[in-house]
Amino acid sequence: MKTAERSSETLPTPATAMSVFVLLLVLLSLSAVSSHFLTGRTGTTVGLLIAAAKMTLIFTYFMRLRYQSGLVRLFALVGFFWLGLILLLTFADYLTRG
Amino acid sequence: MNTEIVTEISPFSNETQRSMAQHLGMWTFIATEVLFFGGLFAGYALYRTTYPEIFAAGSHRLDFWIGTINTAVLLTSSLCMALADSAAKLGRRAKLQWCLAGTWLLGAVFLGLKFYEYHEKFVEHLVPGAHFLPGGGAAPQLQLFFVLYFAMTGLHALHMIIGLGLIGWLWKRAGRGGLSPGHTAPVEITGLYWHFVDCIWVFLYPLLYLVR
Amino acid sequence: MKPAATESTTMDVSRSENYFNRDYSLRSWLTTHDHKRIALLYLVSITFFFSIAAAAAALMRWELLTPQGDLVVSDMYNRLFTLHGVLMVWFFLIPSIPAVLGNFVLPLMLGARDVAFPRLNLASWYIFVTGGLLVLYAIVVGGVDTGWTFYTPYSSTYSNGNVMLMASGVFIAGFSSIATGLNFIVTVHKLRAPGLTWFRLPLFAWSIYATSIILVLATPVLAITLLLIMLERFWGVGIFDPKLGGDPLLFQHLFWFYSHPAVYIMILPGMGVVSEIITCFSRKKIFGYKVMAIAILAIAALGFLVWGHHMFVSSQSVYAGLVFSLLSFLVSVPSAIKVFNWTATLYRGSIRFDTPFLYALGFLALFTIGGLTGLFLATLAVDVHLHDTYFVVAHFHYIMVGGMVMAYMGGIHFWWPKISGRLYPEILARISAITIFAGFNLTFFPQFVLGYLGMPRRFHIYPPEFQTLNVLSTAGAGVLAIGYLLPLFYLGWSLFYGRRAGPNPWEATGLEWITASPPPEHNFERTPVVTTEAYNYPELSP
């Protein structure tokens, strides 16, 4: 009975964890290699996108958001949303200065 | 301990409720951590936009290979932590302890490399302050990059050290059999923290080491 | 010790074992995990910090009796207003309603045995006290002259005060806020009694929930900002340092990203308390319950988007100023909705003018004035004239003191029978409520005029033509002091000699009133089940 209601605690199997890990290493090499070709804004954008992909993998599988309730997923995103607000409104100032 | 045992009144009615509350609490804490580091990321974003060339120059002074290897080390330690998690759930005590030991050691390797790097920067006079002598006609703003570098990686390292303490404590507890399959919340919660600290590094890596 | 006695308490509930008389030893208080005892620990500590900060205010008002600087020199005056601001904001206002009344009442309102993480709750009190002691130490060894806002580059480079110490005190206290907020959020999500759905929660619970969200999301940004200031002082260089190409305005952005929402940390819980009091003393359901709950959340969310209105004259981009000004106006919409709904709740109610209600009325009037003058300041062009004058000082004191402290006093009086099990002397309490209201207005209303006429804040000398208004203001501060001292005495007195209150002296609704006063250690003998909406007062006959 308990296992049924504990759906929030399901785990990725070790096999899933391994494949996620391999994927993470692939992303890491991609990031490292691309930095030698891409410069400036493009470089940073690609680097950040790859980092975001890595984080999504870690959040989804290692931190098990995939198996969690909507509430927990919301809590996981709120911090990033608020960080976005800081960046948005701070840059609203810096990018429009005369 | 004397006889007056604190009659701890649990606010929860069962273990499931407690575990769910602890997860929610940890995720709330992680949201606060996002914003805690977020202040630094906002500062970084501002100066990176204002002085792109200088930040690229600063990034060139960091050791690309140490940064890359350290990222791989941390990702591997995260894998160990994830495996520890499932070992705990299945009640495999020996495997749990091995995985925790692996996580801990990889964390320690990361910190070792990090402090080696700090030492290098100290020798090269790249630590901000009175002894900052970058040479080569560097712009004064280069120091900004290094202030951010030390603040961000230092704060991250501090979180790693706390994480190592937590994992060591888990390891001891697992050895005493204190983490039965029905009571794995400590492993899960610590795991969340550890993975999150890795995620911070995942972002620091391109922002500090890969600016070109 | 198993409190088995609670099973057979049929005769006299108030005299049976409760959280308060269970164990009087100091050790039992300092190691308690009971949310009710922790609330009282907070009550004692914030009263202590309040007294010190109030003493600093008294010295400042005394100095401002005359246009010359005859009591203190300007440097001392700087240290006084910094001390007053730091202690009042972080060590009184922010913990006041959340950590005292929230801790005491929230689990009771939810029908829970305790908050979700009782040990963390105690830890956060210790963290709070540690931070407070550090700040006091910083004051004793010389104080800080930056103002509570720690603006760079003054704080990071030029100030010769103990900025490091004071900032670390505030930094540490911040973690207490975060821990408390986290605890309350999880408690509201996971520990509501059976049947207590979100839209059956009393508005006080909503307001504490919204406040906790702000505490959790804003405080970390303050923490990192203070850490950066400390680093800058430690290293001699830092990211706000203009010599390196850094921008001191970045500090203001990060600081106000916390400190403007912090204003809502200081007012939302007050709104919650006032909702409880107004419904109880007009014997009516709150008007527009759902809108009230949503307005609380809306204020909490919008409050994060308006920080730039503190920076209109700071060389912030004018376009950003326009946006921030507009967003600031938006906050007034949910705030006004709340004021209208409270008024509508009073309409045709069966009103009893007991002490808590007097405080709630005072809140309504003063919060409205404070809110409306806030609109003046949110207007870009008007703010250029009023910025950094006494108009601003008066405005935020109308919100902080006229709003929050009135609500806090009202809440203390409302729940005092629950906390202590005793009633306080009603007449004396009404006199003190009216004294506070009168003293407050006498103190701060002249400051609106002073500011409008151009008297800048944070100076200990002023042109002689401002003296009359300043004398009035100082006289008001004296009246206010009497008003604050009175409750200290009669509430203390009532602890020993007050009439026994019984479980529900106000005949209020809400789960906290169905258990004994003072409540037993477990709060409830058995977990209550909720079947009705909040504020289910019987229909009034016309």
Which of A48, A75, A94 lies nearest to residue B24, judging by beta carbons? A75
Q: Using CB atoms, which chains have 3+ pairs under 8 A with A?
A: B, C
pLDDT band of residue B8 (cuts 50, 70, 90) is low
Across the range C280-300, mean pLDDT stands at: 95
Residues in a beta bridge with C456: C389
- pLDDT, residue C1, reads 34
Rounded to two decimals, the ipTM of the complex is 0.92
Distance separating alpha carbons of residues A12 and B28, to the nearest angstrom: 22
Across the range C3-22, mean pLDDT stands at 57
pLDDT surpassing 70 at residue C237: yes
Alpha helix positions (H), C347-402: 355-378, 380-386, 390-397
In the predicted structure, residue C337 carries a pLDDT above the cut 80 = yes
pLDDT of C462 above 90: yes
What pTM did the predictor assign? Answer: 0.94
pLDDT band for position C540 (50/70/90)? low
Closest CA to C369 of C322, C401, C342, C344: C401
Regarding predicted confidence, which is higher, C153 or C436? C436
Give the chain C residue whose CA is nearest to the CA of B147: C238
Any CB–CB contact under 8 A between B158 and chain C? no
Partners of residue C117 in chain B, C-beta under 8 Å: 21, 25
Identify any residues that bridge with C422 across adjacent strands, giving them in sequence order.
C500
Alpha helices in B15-138 (DSSP H): 15-50, 52-60, 64-90, 93-123
Is A89's CB within 8 Å of C305's CB? yes
| pLDDT > 90 fraction of chain B, expressed in percent and rounded | 73
pLDDT of residue B140: 85
Residues whose CB is less than 8 angstroms from the CB of residue C22 and which lie 6 or more positions away in sequence, other chains included? C3, C28, C521
Interface mutation target, options A9, A62, A69, chain B, most CBs of B under 10 Å? A62
The pLDDT value given to residue C264: 95
Q: What is the torsional sign of CA C52, C55, C60, C61?
A: positive
Residue owning tokens 């910083």: C138
The mean pLDDT of C183-189, rounded to a whole number, is 97
pLDDT value, residue C7: 38
Mean predicted confidence (pLDDT) in C492-519: 93
Q: Given an 8 Å threshold on Cβ–Cβ distance, is C254 in contact with A86? A: yes
**C359 vs C407: CA distance, rounded Å:** 6
| C 204-233 residues with CB < 8 A to A | 217, 221
Determine the average pLDDT of the residues in C263-286.
95
Give yes or no for a cis peptide into C518 (omega within 30° of 0).
yes
Write the residue in B41, B48, B195 that is nearest to A58 by C-beta: B195
Q: Are C325 and C378 in contact (CB under 8 A)?
A: yes
> Given an 8 Å threshold on Cβ–Cβ distance, is B42 in contact with A90?
yes
When comparing pLDDT for C30 and B4, which is higher? C30
Q: Does C189 touch chain A (CB under 8 A)?
A: yes
Confidence of residue B180 (pLDDT cuts 50, 70, 90): confident
Do C257 and C296 touch, CB atoms closer than 8 A? no
Higher pLDDT, residue B77 or C244: B77
Tokens for C151? 């603006």
Cα of A54 to nearest chain B Cα, Å: 7
Reduced to 3 states (helix: H, G, I; strand: E, B; else coil), residue C508 is coil
- Shortest CA gap A19–chain B (Å): 10
Is residue C162's pLDDT more than 50?
yes
Q: Tell me which chain C residues have a C-beta less than 8 angstroms from the C-beta of B28.
A: 182, 185-186, 216
> Could you read off the pLDDT of A8-32 as tens digits, one per residue?
456 778 888 999 999 999 999 999 9
Q: Does C254 touch chain A (CB under 8 A)?
A: yes
Place of tokens 């009633």: C423
Q: Do A92 and C319 touch (CB under 8 A)?
A: yes
Element (H, E) at C480: helix C467-497
Q: Is the pLDDT of residue A7 over 80?
A: no
Residues of C in Cβ contact (< 8 Å) with A90: 250, 253
Closest Cβ opposite residue B202 in set A11, A32, A51: A51
Of B129, A91, B72, B127, which is closest to residue C244 (Cα–Cα)? Answer: B129
Q: Note whether B173 and B186 are within 8 A (CB).
A: yes
The shortest C-alpha distance from C319 to chain A (Å) reads 6
Q: Average pLDDT for residues C114-133, to the nearest whole number?
A: 96
CA distance linking residue C442 with residue C482, whole number of Å: 13
* Percent of chain C scoring above 90 in pLDDT: 86
pLDDT at residue C252 above 50? yes
Contact: B206, A6; criterion CB under 8 Å = no
What are B41-63's pLDDT values in tens digits?
A: 999 999 999 999 999 999 999 99
Averaged pLDDT, C485-501: 94
What does the alpha-carbon distance between residue B202 and residue B20 come to, in Å, rounded to a whole number?
28
Percent of chain A at pLDDT above 70? Answer: 89
Sorted by sequence, the CB contacts under 8 Å of residue A66 that are 6+ apart come out as: A12, A60
Chain C residues in contact with A92 by the CB 8 A cut-off are 317, 319-320, 323
Mean pLDDT, chain B, rounded, equals 91
CB hemisphere CA count around C242 (13 angstroms)? 7
- A76 interface with B at CB cutoff 8 Å: yes
Flag the least confident range among B128-142, C147-161, C500-514: B128-142
Q: Can you tell me the distance from the alpha carbon of B41 to that of B34, in angstroms, rounded to the nearest whole number?
A: 10
Condensed to tens digits (0 to 9), the pLDDT of residues A53-64 reads 999 999 999 998
Nearest CB to C191: which of B11, B37, B130? B11
Q: Phi-psi region for residue C458, left (φ > 0), alpha (ψ -120 to 50) or beta?
A: left
Is C308 an interface residue toward A (CB < 8 Å)?
A: yes
Are C305 and A93 a contacting pair at CB < 8 A? no
CB atoms within 10 A of CB A10: 13
Smallest Cβ–Cβ distance between B32 and the set C117, C220, C235 belongs to C220
pLDDT of residue A2: 38
pLDDT, mean of residues B75-96? 92
Contacts of C249 in chain A (CB under 8 A): 93
Contacts of A26 (CB under 8 A, 6+ apart): none
C432/C522 Cα distance (integer angstroms) = 34
Handedness of CA B154, B158, B159, B163 (dihedral sign): positive
- For C212, the closest chain B residue by CA position comes to B28
Give me C402's structure tokens: 């006229």
Rounded to the nearest angstrom, the minimum Cα separation between C402 and chain A is 30
Tens of pLDDT, residues C267-276:
999 999 999 9
- Least confident among B135-139, C166-170, C362-366, C441-445: B135-139
Look at chain A and count its residues: 98
Least Cα distance to C461 among C141, C74, C118, C125 occurs for C74
Residue with tokens 């391994």, as numbered in its chain: A18
What is the predicted pLDDT for the residue at A9? 52
Indicate if the pLDDT at residue C11 is higher than 70: no
Shortest CB distance from A82 goes to which of C304, C311, C323?
Answer: C304
Neighbours of chain B (3+ CB pairs under 8 A): A, C
Percent of chain C predicted with pLDDT > 70: 97
Q: Is B7 left (phi over 0), alpha (psi -120 to 50) or beta?
A: beta
Using a CB-CB cut-off of 8 Å, the residues of chain C touching B38 are 220-221, 224
Q: What is the pLDDT of residue B129?
A: 84
Residues of B in contact with A82 (CB under 8 A): 31, 34-35, 38
Section B118-136 average pLDDT: 88
Q: Does B129 touch chain C (CB under 8 A)?
A: yes
Question: What sign results for the dihedral spanned by CA atoms C505, C509, C515, C521?
Answer: negative
Tell me if chain B has a CB within 8 Å of the CB of C246: yes
Mutate to test the interface with A, among C316, C327, C330, C380 (most CBs of A within 10 A): C316
Two structure tokens written together for C356 = 């808590």
A46 min Cα distance to partner chain B (Å): 9
Q: What's the average model confidence in pLDDT over C6-25?
A: 63
Residue B16 in contact with partner chain C when CB distance is under 8 A:
no
Yes or no, beta carbons of C319 and A90 under 8 Å apart: no
Radius of gyration (C-alpha) of chain A in whole angstroms:
18
* Degrees, nearest 5: CA angle C446-C435-C425: 165
- How much is the pLDDT for C392? 96
Cβ-defined contact of B38 to A43 (cutoff 8 Å): no
